[in-house]
Chain A
Amino acid sequence: MNYEVIVVGGGHAGIEASLSCARLKHKTLLVTGNINNIADMPCNPSIGGPAKGIVVREIDALGGEMAKNTDKSSLQMKMLNTKKGPAVRALRAQADKVIYKKEMLKTLNSQDNLDIKEGLVKELIIKDNRVGGVILEDGEEISAKAVILTTGTYLKGTILVGDKKTKGGPHGEKASNYLSPFLKKLGFNILRLKTGTPPRIEKRSVDFSKMQEELGSSEDITFSYDNTTALAYKYRLPCHLIYTNETTHKIIKEHLNESSMYGGYVEGVGPRYCPSIEDKVVRFSDKERHQLFLEPESIYYDDLYLQGFSTSMPHYVQEQMVHSLKGLENAKILKYAYAIEYDAIDSRQIKPTLETKIIENLYTAGQINGTSGYEEAAGQGLIAGINASLKLENKNPLILKRNESYIGVLIDDLVTKGVKDPYRLLTSRAEYRLLLRDDNADLRLREYGHKIGLIKDDIYNNFLKKKQDIEDLTNLLKETKITPKNEINNILIKLNTSPLKDGITLYDLLKRPELSIEDLTNFIKLNYSKEVLKEVEINIKYEGYIKKSMEEAKKMLELENKTIPEDINYQDIPNIASEAKEKLENIRPITLGQASRISGVNPSDIAIISVYLKKRGI
């Protein structure tokens, strides 16, 4: 069989990569170790959160699948950070793991141009530094013009529990033991990373009366811009909040050396932002308690996910630890916590298109690039799929900038700075987050999605209408003036805002912090959708700040628009510090902007390169 694209791995990155290639009409094969594990959520049963939730919206804006599938399977939706400002609001869903998988598999199976095959990839077919397909462990060769690696934790994956090490994946599947040594031979630097997951608890063994219930938002909110109602809304399930206590900490301290991590059995580097419970107890020893959540995994399962309690302690210690928790005294552990180690490549060896620098037409996305998180994986998968397709079509690649998307921030960080521990997206990684909001991902990215061909015309037309409505409403508010008449001032007083002395446009009136756009219906009819109202409100209320951010971004873009030619020889440029020279040689930034973000490259180096490029007339 001849394929144009082969995607290796059926996790969140692999799905988006396969779907985007197939939807762009490229004959695509998804190779996975186990079809039943496609779209699996081996860790927490939730999607979204600060920054990550916005990535899901961006995926939707570009024509990816994650948002739509989450809407089909959500058990609870929550808008986070509502009081902290427009830029940091983010959606998070508790997703039903079973429904999520089932629905995603349906979508994949009904997708034209997409085949799915079980198998483990052993090697890649490489000719003249260009990929030409894959060789499976059973020896079968499948050719393709492009290959996208989305291998997750399966590259030499090893499960760790206490002093026990087992080769394999989260569900006892076979690990891929040949591919990473093969990649190493090709010249990739291989890193060993680690992550972990907490135990799963049987629901009926839990005493919920001792816990605090946490519900989602009551509004009907969706991840996808194209859904108006959450489809699985009827299922709404609560989460529960509990805390560790002195006894828990005592048990952990007593058995510390039995954990994989502290017993010295782990080689991989774990994520700083998501430490195991033993890490938390050791590193923050002055804290009397740590907070934990019990989250529902599925309406079909009796499993609860004990968020915040990931550990690599042996089973018998995990029993003691769990039973020390309030409400879990008699809890039954359905699945023990474990740590997992896996291989990843140095993300500085890939381009901002996610194509590797060493092998042409070979793309990588997700945990293989050193990230963690379903959303980070999906975002990269989508971009890798899009860029592999665009390259096959001889079109310019899609490289999202830091001021237009979190996905752009994520990829730029990866290829410019590299990772030491699994990379998680945080809002603080974005310099212009007021521009990268949950509400405007479509306004930022739909054009791209449509131009590439992932956003169909009818959806695009809805989007254009929304854009037009935003413009119309903005103009309407600018044109509508109210005057200090008694009846108007009476309304204002009722709205707890000061009465008028002079006439004012509704546009300016809305700038008062105490007023919302809904309050304006006292003066004018507003026949617009909720989304349009919200968008216009944010734009008006935060106009000054948004402008400021845009100006900041413009400054950045000036450097960003100065391209560094691919064949630049840094040895030819005198006076660059040798540390900078080495880093520039390795990373080979594509713009001066990217170069300026490399640690160890100083302003003076940038000035010198800038002068050098000018002299060469670039």
Chain B
Amino acid sequence: MQDTIVAISTKLGVGAISIIRVSGNNAIPLVNKVFRGKDLTKVDSHTINYGFINDGIEDIDEVLVSVMKAPKTFTREDIVEINCHGGIYTTLKILDLLIEEGARRAEKGEFTKRAFLNGRIDLTEAEAVMDLIESKTDNSRKLALSSLEGNLKKYITSFRNKLKHILANIEVNIDYPEYYDIEEVTKKELKEVIKSLEKDLKNLVTKSEERQIIKNGIKTIIIGRPNVGKSSILNRFLKEDKAIVTDIEGTTRDIVEGSIIFDGIELSLIDTAGIRETDNLAEKIGVEKSISLIDKANLIIVVLNSSEELTNNDKFILDKVKDKNPIIVLNKNDLKAKIDKSKLDFKHIVSTNTNTQDGIDSLKDEIKSMFKLEEINEDDYTYLANERQLSLAKQALKSLRDAKNSLESDEPVDIIEIDLKEVFDILGSITGESYSDELLDELFANFCVGK
């Protein structure tokens, strides 16, 4: 039988309330041991109970405890959720207490894994749930919900059906070679189908990559020599939203040092050192560190002091980012401009005055338009919700291109079909219609516990 697992399912240190989730056979009696209030083993399923968490000596926190009995729960096991007051200290203390009582700290993705293994959700749903849990902003939450409803599946199935149709025709030609009345799939037809599929698939991949960026937070670098106003710009964002956070456990491979959330977008700052360090550090080192990270960034904001001529250092920075589509911020626009805007060969230029709020909205608009956030608000949510799906789609695209190459070098149809069948299978595994062991391992490793 499955043991009882526990995890904190809200982001640690953020918000007024933290939720600790316990799942498994022993979940209810286990929480009951540290709960001072009603006897939880006797309450009805799906009830919320008021009381205190008590470590045997004193009350740790005043809480609301939700009791949900199997099978109508997320994991199809008994689940107890403790709503306690936010704050790292209290939350961790309750977690430790439950572990002392015999719960096991859940592994990454384990709740969702149990939901999947217990037949509660299928593969695409599992992935979408994970996305839902992980999504921090409204826009990405919408993304996740739409995927849950199966838009993605419908979309991919429409691709697959196109392929299925032509594959079936090829098969008939092969298995019934002397049926002269059945039309043979011509290379011209094949070419057209491949071309249209390639277009669709490419769109899906590009669109998804953009969404992926938005979902994970736009990796952002603010770069510029000291005293041009980098931290002032940051503070302007913060002043409005007060939302800078420092991750305790980063979920992305790159170290996210903080994030700014505004209008439903998340900017993940991957290099705050360059902002925070001032003259204390040799100017060059700070800049060089930022430069070394520009390849990892989705968004580069270069801050210049418009009241001063471009220094060599400014020119150095501009040269490094010239192909990276940065936003150039001309700060201190209240002073006399010494930089000729028309001589800057960049598409996105914004003027700001960080002493006021002047220009900050234009900067936000610029960011929003760069990442096509207007489109996000439309109802088209058909894209690949996670890395696994995205990498599969890229594989499918590759196989499709292989098929195209085979076709162009005039290979026979059964050879071309090998790649096309692969595309078909891969598309199937995106929607969870085929099976491989690797897939599950990979999938479960990607689940973020209890969030």
Q: Which residues of A contact B (CB under 8 A)?
A: 50-51, 80-81, 83-88, 214, 241, 287, 289-291, 293, 426-428, 433-434, 513, 542, 545, 548-549, 552, 555, 558-559, 574-575, 577, 596, 602-604, 606-608, 610
A575 and B119 CA atoms in complex are apart in Å by 7
Q: Is the CB of B174 within 8 A of A428?
A: yes
**Chain A residues with CB under 8 A of B123:** 603
Q: Is the CB of A577 within 8 A of B174?
A: no
**Chain B residues with CB under 8 A of A84:** 173-174, 177, 412-414
Q: Is the CB of B181 within 8 A of A85?
A: no
User: What are 28 sample pairs from A and B whose C-beta atoms fall under 8 A apart?
Assistant: A50-B174, A50-B175, A50-B177, A80-B177, A81-B174, A84-B174, A84-B414, A85-B412, A85-B413, A86-B415, A87-B415, A88-B414, A241-B180, A290-B181, A291-B179, A291-B181, A426-B171, A427-B174, A427-B175, A433-B414, A545-B415, A545-B418, A574-B1, A575-B118, A602-B122, A603-B434, A603-B440, A606-B435
Q: Is the CB of A85 within 8 A of B119?
A: no
A290 and B176 CA atoms in complex are apart in Å by 14
**Chain B residues with CB under 8 A of A545:** 415, 418
| Least CB separation from B410: chain A residue | A513
Q: How far is the CB of B33 from chain A (nearest CB, A)?
A: 26
- Kindly state whether residue B437 has any CB partner on chain A within 8 Å: yes
Q: Is the CB of B435 within 8 A of A548?
A: no
Q: Is the CB of A513 within 8 A of B409?
A: yes
- Kindly state whether residue B312 has any CB partner on chain A within 8 Å: no
**Chain A residues with CB under 8 A of B319:** none
Name the contact of B440 in the complex, choosing from A85, A293, A542, A607 (C-beta under 8 A): A607
**Chain A residues with CB under 8 A of B432:** 603
Q: Is the CB of B437 within 8 A of A558?
A: yes
Q: For chain B residues 400-447, which have a beta carbon within 8 Å of chain A?
A: 409-415, 418, 422, 432, 434-437, 439-440
Q: Is the CB of A555 within 8 A of B411?
A: no
Closest 3 CB pairs of A and B: A85-B412, A85-B414, A603-B435
Size category, B interface: 20 to 34
Most buried by B among A84, A290, A555, A602: A84
Q: 8 other contacts beyond A84-B413, A84-B414, A604-B122, with CB at 8 A cut-off?
A: A50-B175, A80-B177, A87-B415, A289-B181, A428-B175, A513-B409, A575-B119, A607-B117
**Chain B residues with CB under 8 A of A428:** 171, 174-175
Contact with A along B172-193 (1 / 0, CB 8 A): 0111111111000000000000
| Least CB separation from B168: chain A residue | A428
Q: For chain B residues 367-422, which have a beta carbon within 8 Å of chain A?
A: 409-415, 418, 422
A603 and B428 CA atoms in complex are apart in Å by 13
* Main SS at interface, chain B: loop
**Chain A residues with CB under 8 A of B116:** 604
Name the contact of B119 in the complex, choosing from A87, A552, A577 (C-beta under 8 A): A577
**Chain B residues with CB under 8 A of A293:** 178
| Least CB separation from B173: chain A residue | A84
Most buried by A among B171, B176, B178, B181: B178
**Chain B residues with CB under 8 A of A610:** 437
| Least CB separation from A425: chain B residue | B175
Q: Is the CB of B413 within 8 A of A604?
A: no
| Least CB separation from B412: chain A residue | A85
| Least CB separation from B433: chain A residue | A603
**Chain A residues with CB under 8 A of B435:** 596, 603, 606
A542 and B414 CA atoms in complex are apart in Å by 11
**Chain B residues with CB under 8 A of A86:** 412, 414-415
From known contacts A50-B174, A427-B175, A603-B432, infer whether A434 and B418 are also in contact, taking CB-CB under 8 Å.
yes
Name the contact of A542 in the complex, choosing from B119, B179, B415 (C-beta under 8 A): B415
**Chain A residues with CB under 8 A of B173:** 84
Q: Is the CB of B415 within 8 A of A604?
A: no
Q: Is the CB of A87 within 8 A of B414?
A: yes
Q: How far is the CB of A446 from chain B (nearest CB, A)?
A: 24
Contact with A along B207-250 (1 / 0, CB 8 A): 00000000000000000000000000000000000000000000
Most buried by A among B410, B411, B439: B411
**Chain B residues with CB under 8 A of A291:** 179-181
Q: How far is the CB of A60 from chain B (nearest CB, A)?
A: 22
Q: Is the CB of B117 within 8 A of A427?
A: no
**Chain A residues with CB under 8 A of B418:** 434, 545, 548-549
Q: How far is the CB of B431 from chain A (nearest CB, A)?
A: 12
Q: How far is the CB of A116 from chain B (nearest CB, A)?
A: 36
Q: Is the CB of A608 within 8 A of B117?
A: yes
A85 and B406 CA atoms in complex are apart in Å by 12
Q: Is the CB of B171 within 8 A of A427?
A: yes
**Chain A residues with CB under 8 A of B412:** 83-86
**Chain A residues with CB under 8 A of B178:** 80, 214, 293
Q: How far is the CB of B448 from chain A (nearest CB, A)?
A: 20
A167 and B409 CA atoms in complex are apart in Å by 58
**Chain A residues with CB under 8 A of B415:** 85-87, 434, 542, 545
A426 and B173 CA atoms in complex are apart in Å by 11
A293 and B117 CA atoms in complex are apart in Å by 55
A566 and B412 CA atoms in complex are apart in Å by 44
A426 and B170 CA atoms in complex are apart in Å by 12
Most buried by A among B123, B422, B435: B435
Most buried by B among A51, A428, A575, A596: A428
Q: Is the CB of A559 within 8 A of B437?
A: yes
**Chain A residues with CB under 8 A of B175:** 50-51, 426-428
**Chain A residues with CB under 8 A of B119:** 575, 577, 604
A397 and B434 CA atoms in complex are apart in Å by 30
Q: Is the CB of A434 within 8 A of B411?
A: no
A577 and B122 CA atoms in complex are apart in Å by 12
A289 and B179 CA atoms in complex are apart in Å by 12
A607 and B415 CA atoms in complex are apart in Å by 33
A51 and B414 CA atoms in complex are apart in Å by 13
